Amino acid sequence: MTSNHTQSRIPVILVTGASSGLGLALARLLMDEPYHLILTARQDSLARFREQRVYEDQRLWLRPLDITDSEQREAVIHEADEKLGGVDVLVNNAGIAYRAVVEHVDEKDRMHQMNVNFRSPIELARLVLPGMRKRRHGRIINISSASGMMAMPTMAVYSASKFALEGATESLYYESRPWNIKVTLIEPGFINSLSVHNTQLTRLSQAALDDTDDPYHSHYLHMSRFISRFMKVTTATPHKVARVILKTIRRKHPPLRVAATWDAWLFSKMRRFLPRRLYHEVLYRALPGVGSWGKK
């Protein structure tokens, strides 16, 4: 990051969902860098910072932030504007994942998924943009997923939220470029972490997983095992993906999309070079246990 602005003050980086997983790994890397950090997490997750020996000091703030709460969003950005001169780098990392087929997602579940993964990150971006435009520099990094460029069965609404985030971020990439604001999507695939246990089932998807006679039982059974297995054997870790994010922050001209794991890179190449019909057929035939789907 180089500009007259960054030379006159310490750049300010705000990271959401920073108390665990990828967010915490990134926070640890940034703590060794010359930045002023604002690390946020939900109020009931703030204790994790202390458990991980992450403490506040002059250049590290810990702030409660439920990103779906408009008042909390505005309060954090306002404080940064008033006391630090604004946010120079926004890392929208906080997110959730629902595991459910389309038929098992009601409107409440759907809106919660979209609020956390799409609407709230875009609102945070909207709040920091005026200051970035005024300073004529800034960076917005949205943590997407390989599911933002390809969809998996039983992850419909999660993919929808990431597809939406990717679309809005791509527009923002063009819109903000005249003010020297760099916008990037980080696209991890499978990460070897405990986050697999944080995937939420809806009421209907949980019932289907528990009921061997449910028409979608095989979908959930085989996909859950498949995802869990890949997340355990992949060499990608939160630390490795965090290093990709830090490298992106340092880059003078970061690209719009950065594949953060080998599988995300592979899927992006498949989408680019395989004919679309062949691409979907290959993925369908590769689905685990697909021969047992639709038998009930």
| Catalytic positions | 158
For every residue of 31-49, which 3-state class applies, written as one string?
A: CCCCCEEEEEECHHHCHHH
Indicate the DSSP class of residue 146.
G
Identity (one letter) of the amino acid at 261?
T
Contacts of 37 (CB under 8 A, 6+ apart): 12, 13, 14, 15, 27, 30, 31, 59, 60, 61
C-alpha distances in Å from residue 139, one per residue of 43, 68, 131, 177, 291: 26, 21, 11, 10, 46
How far apart, in whole angstroms, are the C-alpha atoms of residue 287 and residue 55? 44
